[in-house]
Amino acid sequence: MSKLILYSQPDCHLCEEAVTLLRAAGLGDGYLEVDIETDLELLKRYGILVPVLLREDNQRELLWPFDQPQLVEFLETDQ
């Protein structure tokens, strides 16, 4: 499976919901969570968009809001 990055912020209830969905999809620790507040460029890019899930293999991003079926499709689609 591709390396996954979850861009998030501290004290973000939507980010917590995204983590819950990732765990429900069986990913457990199968992703890297990155706090966008530690990097000015990430903050500029994702500021109001978090949580955002990035697949490193194809650079696709899944923007919030997403649900379990959308997450599964994102993870399974190669394009």
Q: Express each pLDDT in 18-48 by its tens digit.
A: 999 999 999 998 999 999 999 999 999 999 9
Work out how many domains the chain is built from and give that number: 1
CATH no. for residue 62? Answer: 3.40.30.10
Instruction: Name 70's Cβ contacts closer than 8 Å, sequence gap at least 6.
Output: 62
Given a cut of 70, whether residue 56 has pLDDT beyond it is yes
Q: For residues 36 and 40, what is the distance between their CA atoms, to the nearest angstrom?
A: 7
Enter the pTM of the model: 0.93
